[in-house]
Amino acid sequence: MIETERDAEFIIKAQKGNKNAYGEIVKLYMKRAYFSALSIVGSHDDALDLSQEAFIRAYQSIKKFDTTKTFYTWFYKILRNLCLNHLRNKSNRVNSFSEILEDLENIKDENQSTEKMVEQNETKKIVWQAIWKLTPEDREIITARDILNTSYEDIAGLLQVPTGTVMSRLYYARKRLRKIIEELQ
């Protein structure tokens, strides 16, 4: 069963007021929503709160949702707006590297020396700081592609732009990231 058909069954029930059916939708997409929010706002608590708030708003408008479309694409628009508004209303602080990312210690490579791993961790910290200095839109596209491994087609669907535009935005975002890294080093 394809994603849209599977979701439609639950959504039609949710549109009739069945909260448990909506709960199934939430369970299917909560991790994706949380990590998308985390990659934009860079804080665990905010990502949790904003992703839950987006599910609440989506439920409040669920009757308007066209079940032939992809739920997550529709939902992502709500989530993205909430995250971007949140960043605009909040003073931007550089989020702790260790709060968001797995330490290299947790992804041990038998072939690498401790010094090499420490050095890599330091470089990662600089890159993370640079990612955080990007605009939320640049950060969103870089993290979607490079950290969350989202395909170009999926990013295009989520941002509702052609794939060519995704590639072009990604190219310029990567160039801006490179410039910031050079300034930080």
Contacts 24+ apart (CB under 8 A), 161-168: 166/141
Give min distance, CB of 6 to other proteins, in A: 18
Give the three-class secondary structure for 84.
helix
- Looking at the Cβ atoms of 2 and 19, the one nearer to other proteins is 19
Amino acid at 174: R
Query: Could you say whether residue 6 binds other proteins (CB under 8 A)?
Result: no
Give min distance, CB of 85 to other proteins, in A: 6
DSSP-assigned letter for residue 106:
G
Closest CA to 36 of 51, 21, 58: 51
Query: Could you say whether residue 3 binds other proteins (CB under 8 A)?
Result: no
Tell me the CA distances in angstroms from 114 to 74, 123, 185, one per residue in order: 45, 14, 22
Query: Could you say whether residue 178 binds other proteins (CB under 8 A)?
Result: yes
Closest CA to 92 of 123, 46, 49, 126: 46
Give min distance, CB of 143 to other proteins, in A: 8
For residue 165 the two structure tokens come to 């535009």
CA angle 100, 3, 85 (to 5 degrees): 40
Using the contact rule CB under 8 A, the part of the chain among 4-12, 47-55, 67-75, 153-161 near other proteins is 47-55
- Looking at the Cβ atoms of 6 and 57, the one nearer to other proteins is 57
* Footprint of other proteins (CB under 8 A): 19, 23, 26-27, 30-31, 34-35, 38-39, 44, 48, 52-53, 55-56, 59-60, 77, 81, 84-85, 88, 99-102, 104, 107, 120, 123-124, 127-128, 131, 142, 145-148, 152, 164, 167-168, 170-171, 174-175, 177-178, 181
